[in-house]
Amino acid sequence: EVQLLESGGGLVQPGGSLRLSCAASGSTFSSYAMSWVRQAPGKGLEWVSGISVGGSTYYADSVKGRFAISRDNSKNTLYLQMNSLRAEDTAVYYCAKAYDTLTAYLFDYWGQGTPVPVSS
């Protein structure tokens, strides 16, 4: 059974930075693409960023240039560095695992989410 555990969320002021982590267990972490998906309070799901097995990175336009995704396969951990945070980045951030090697954005396992409120 795959388990994903996010950490690093918390209250941050506009313009501030935060780094989220997602620790994976129960699967060969290095074999799967991973993504971050967020959900603003009372709203729907929004894909934020993804990273391939080979380390190629992809971003939603709304976070491009401000967020950076990375992975450390030796630690089975996914990261999201968030800079220049805005109020509209306020959301619960989920890490999600790709279903297989061919479908990077189909997610079969999700973490429990970590909240990131951006407010002064």
Partner 1 sequence: EIVLTQSPGTLSLSPGERATLSCRASQSVSSSYLAWYQQKPGQAPRLLIYGASSRATGIPDRFSGSGSGTDFTLTISRLEPEDFAVYYCQQYSRSPSTFGGGTKVEIK
Binding site for partner 1 (CB under 8 A): 35, 44-47, 58, 60-61, 94, 99, 103-108, 110-113
Which CB sits closer to partner 1, 79 or 107?
107
Cα Rg for the chain, rounded, in angstroms?
13
For residue 34, the minimal CB distance to partner 1 (Å) is: 13
Q: How far is the CB of 110 from partner 1 (least distance, A)?
A: 4
Of 79 and 94, which CB lies nearer to partner 1 in the complex structure? 94
Distance, in Å, from the CA atom of 101 to the CA atom of 116, rounded to the nearest integer, reads 30
Q: How buried is residue 46: exposed, middle or buried, by Cβ count under 10 Å (0-12/13-18/19+)?
A: middle
